[in-house]
Amino acid sequence: MAWETRKRGDWYYTRTRREHGRFVREYVGGGIVGEVAAMLDAEERAERDAERARMRAEHEQAREVSEALAALEAVTREAIADVLHAEGFHRHNRTWRRKRG
């Protein structure tokens, strides 16, 4: 929790961050100083969350478009193979060739 209760009964604002795999707690202050720090941190956190959500949406969008194009590619590949086989072509070393004779 960011707000700590002291023995005197008042509140003290702290920040916790990770440094080299350890948690480090920074003691910011109580009263108005603590409240301002808490407000700024909340804003920063909200911005970070929004940015993360935007990134997630962009990744999701890219994945959907790629999936749609990949599905179309798979179906067209099969269609091409069927049509070319029916028209007398065959595949040799991944290259389509016309059958002789």
Partner 1 sequence: MCYTRKASTVTTGLGGASVAEKMMSREDGRPVDAFDTACQAVKDEEPGAVENLRHLTGEHPELLERIAEAGDMAAIAERRIAAVLSPGDALQEEKLRVWIEATQRDLEEPGDGALERILIRRVALCWFAVNTAEVMRAGNWKLGNLENDRAAFADRRVSRYTADLLKATRTLATVRKLRRPVVMVNVAEQQVNVIRP
Residues whose CB is less than 8 angstroms from the CB of residue 6 and which lie 6 or more positions away in sequence, other chains included:
12, 30
Q: Which residue in 87, 92, 93, 94 binds partner 1 (CB under 8 A)? A: 87
Per-residue contact flags (x/-) with partner 1 for residues 16 to 55, judged by CB under 8 A? ---------------------------------------x
Cβ-contact 11, 34 below 8 angstroms = yes
Which range, of 2-10, 17-25, 26-34, 82-90, touches partner 1 by CB under 8 A? 82-90
* Calpha distance 6→14 (Å, rounded): 12
Question: Is residue 2 helix, strand or coil?
Answer: coil
Our CB check for partner 1 shows the closer of 25 and 48 to be 48
Size of the site for partner 1 (CB under 8 A): 31
Our CB check for partner 1 shows the closer of 10 and 51 to be 51
* Calpha distance 26→14 (Å, rounded): 6
